[in-house]
């Protein structure tokens, strides 16, 4: 049993890590046509980091990702607050609309969005003004899950009532009781949504393409031109996803904060 | 400031935002699938059932069903292995990397697989050396190797909570009462896991069915699947037919909606088991 157990875990780790490791080696090799690379060089990486377009596109990806996350948190936190405290019956409606991209994923969202936003008076197709809201909708499930879980497990209703009975004002309740309690959940959801928005390709390609180029689109164009450079981007993307993912996971394990709060 | 009204104001803004960028596009999609210039018509639906598109639908169902099955089998075994492992470091690391890989689809993943399974891919060179036919990653039949990269870890993270609901003491108690390990899994383990297993498989199916970026980056759409056909019909590189795109989108949305309904059913079933415990 131990052997089988180690075997399957090892197999998964190999399947997940080997493609990335080999891609890393490929990005560091100048030619790799035999089993072992002939020569190594940092050329691909220096080309990548020396390309002003890489920085411009990366900057746009950052703008896109942070705007999408900021928007979803700005909408979700007060809405969840209002629904939990004053209108619990609406919570299933909120869940339905937050998980909508499950039924309407990026590709088909694009079909509907192009129809509405490519003719005046709303001709914003091809601009970030359409891409940002569209990506916000597509990454909403990531943010929603984490934020809603935080509200649920913190028992926000009870916390608010307790604070109110002690004479706290509404604003004090929000700022000093609710906000710190749900913060880890909000952050972890935000980070997961950030990671998803940063790598979003379907909408970027179908809605804006090269007129507002982001990093995944940059890599897509690089694929056919310079394989070693594209390999470097793959490795970079994995490193970013790994960094953000571990950060979110770290936040989730601080969920035991809520026990401290309910005890106090 | 009145908190109730302030938060409700944001909630209404949110609703307006959703109406504009989510609900209206969705409604318009359905409307344009069932209308032409003159009004209600099945014209686009009929177009969407032409052989090329039907083949795309069949291919997508095949690929998604197969990768869901493959991912479910491997992921369940892996989650079980993680559950029974006593090495905390291995547990943590495997869970963390699975969480990352489950969401790592798209252009970067496609290129990583070109590096290992492309025409001069390193794994292919290795396979050739030992006399096995190389795996051509650009062919539809081999796409499942790429999808397995996110399906396997996704199943693993989905199954972990279900395994964690099985107390290790149960297994010990069953053993103490004279049951074999195998007997325990058949009588207790599998029934407890079953609803989550089926529900997660449905999620895997949907995950693959709506995936566009990976296959597009890999083949520029030369692999005939439902998402790539929809992309073509809106972006106009090969054909341009927004009506057909809408009809195909409705086809896809209906399939995903059915999956979602089945998933909800499986969750309710799991909750019932939880209650019975």
Q: Which residues of B130-162 are buried (b: 16+ CB within 10 A; e: fewer)?
A: eeeebbebbeeeebbbbbbbbbbbbbbbbbbeb
Chain A residues 55-94 within an 8 A CB cutoff of chain B: 71, 74-76, 78-79, 81-83, 85-86
For B124, which residue in chain A has the nearest alpha carbon?
A35
B24, B86, B100, B120, best to mutate vs chain A, most A CBs in 10 Å: B100
Predicted confidence pLDDT, tens digits, chain B (277 residues): 577 888 899 999 999 999 999 999 999 999 999 988 888 888 889 888 899 999 999 999 999 999 999 999 999 999 999 988 888 899 989 999 999 999 898 999 999 999 999 888 888 888 888 888 888 888 888 999 999 999 999 999 999 988 888 877 787 788 788 777 777 888 778 888 898 999 999 999 999 999 999 999 998 878 999 999 999 888 876 677 888 899 999 999 999 999 999 998 888 888 887 776 5
Q: How far A154 CA sits from the closest chain B CA (Å)?
A: 19
Chain A residues touching residue B206 (CB < 8 angstroms): 102
CB-based contact (8 Å) between A124 and chain B?
A: no
Quick one: CA dihedral B228, A124, B250, B257, positive or negative? positive
- Contact B25/A137 with Cβ under 8 angstroms? no
Report the distance separating Cα B152 and Cα B121, nearest Å. 22
User: Domains, chain A, ranges and CATH?
Assistant: 52-263 (1.10.3720.10)
- Which residues are CB-neighbours of B225 under 8 A, at least 6 positions away? B56, B59, B60, B63, B140, B215
Q: How many Cβ contacts (< 8 angstroms) between chains A and B? A: 253
Chain A residues touching residue B230 (CB < 8 angstroms): 107-108, 111
CB-based contact (8 Å) between B182 and chain A?
A: no
**Which architecture does CATH list for B48-276?**
Orthogonal Bundle (1.10)
Chain B residues touching residue A100 (CB < 8 angstroms): 22, 26
* ipTM of this complex: 0.90
| pLDDT tens digits for range A231-261 | 999 999 999 999 998 888 777 665 444 333 3
CB-CB under 8 Å, A22 with B115: yes
Each domain of chain B, given as residue ranges in start order, spans 1-33, 48-276
CB-based contact (8 Å) between A158 and chain B?
A: no
């Amino acid at each position: 049993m131990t052997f089988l157990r180690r075997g399957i875990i090892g197999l998964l780790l190999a399947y997940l890590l080997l493609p990335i490791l080999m891609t890393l080696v490929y990005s560091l090799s100048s030619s790799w046509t035999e089993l072992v690379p002939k020569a190594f060089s940092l050329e691909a990486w220096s080309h990548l980091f020396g390309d002003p377009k890489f920085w411009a596109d990366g900057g746009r990806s950052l703008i896109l990702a942070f705007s999408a996350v900021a928007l979803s948190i700005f909408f979700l936190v007060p809405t969840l607050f209002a629904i939990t405290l004053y209108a619990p019956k609406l919570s299933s409606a909120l869940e339905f609309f937050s998980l909508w991209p499950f039924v309407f994923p990026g590709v088909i969202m694009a079909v509907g969005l192009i129809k509405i936003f490519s003719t005046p008076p709303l001709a914003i197709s091809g601009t970030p003004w359409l891409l940002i809201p569209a990506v916000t909708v597509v990454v909403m499930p990531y943010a929603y899950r984490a934020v809603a879980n935080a509200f649920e497990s913190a028992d926000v209703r009870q916390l608010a009532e307790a604070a109110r009975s002690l004479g706290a004002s509404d604003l004090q309740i929000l700022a000093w009781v609710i906000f710190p309690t749900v913060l880890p959940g909000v952050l972890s959801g935000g980070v997961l949504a950030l990671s998803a928005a940063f790598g979003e390709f379907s909408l970027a390609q179908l809605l804006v393409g090269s007129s507002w180029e982001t990093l995944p689109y940059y890599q897509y164009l690089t694929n056919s031109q310079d394989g070693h450079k594209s390999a470097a981007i793959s490795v970079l993307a994995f490193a970013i996803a790994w960094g953000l993912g571990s950060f979110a996971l770290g936040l989730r394990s601080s969920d035991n904060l809520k026990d401290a709060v309910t005890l106090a | 400031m009145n908190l109730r009204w302030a938060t409700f104001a944001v909630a209404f803004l949110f609703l307006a935002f959703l109406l504009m960028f989510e609900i209206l596009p969705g409604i318009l999609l359905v409307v344009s699938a069932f209308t032409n210039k003159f009004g209600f018509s099945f014209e686009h639906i009929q177009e969407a059932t032409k052989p090329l598109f039907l083949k795309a639908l069949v291919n997508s169902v095949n690929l998604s069903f197969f990768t869901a099955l493959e991912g479910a089998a491997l992921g369940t075994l892996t989650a079980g292995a993680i559950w029974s492992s006593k090495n905390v470091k291995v547990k943590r690391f495997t869970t963390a990397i699975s969480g990352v890989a489950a969401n790592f689809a798209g252009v970067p993943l496609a290129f990583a697989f070109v590096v290992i399974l492309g025409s001069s891919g390193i794994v292919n060179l290795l396979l050739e050396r030992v006399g096995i036919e190389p795996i051509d990653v650009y062919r539809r039949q081999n796409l499942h190797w790429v999808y397995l990269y996110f399906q396997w870890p996704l199943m693993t993270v989905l199954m972990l909570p279900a395994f964690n609901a099985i107390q290790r003491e149960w297994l010990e108690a069953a053993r103490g009462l004279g049951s074999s390990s195998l007997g325990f899994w058949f009588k207790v383990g599998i029934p407890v896991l079953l609803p989550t297993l089926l529900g997660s498989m449905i999620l895997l199916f949907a995950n693959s069915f709506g995936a566009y970026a990976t296959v597009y980056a890999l083949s520029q759409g030369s692999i005939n699947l439902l998402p790539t056909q929809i992309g073509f019909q809106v972006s106009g590189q090969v054909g341009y037919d927004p009506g057909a795109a809408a009809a195909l989108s409705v086809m896809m949305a209906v399939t995903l909606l059915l999956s979602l309904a089945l998933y909800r059913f499986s969750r309710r079933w799991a909750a019932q088991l939880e209650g019975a415990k």
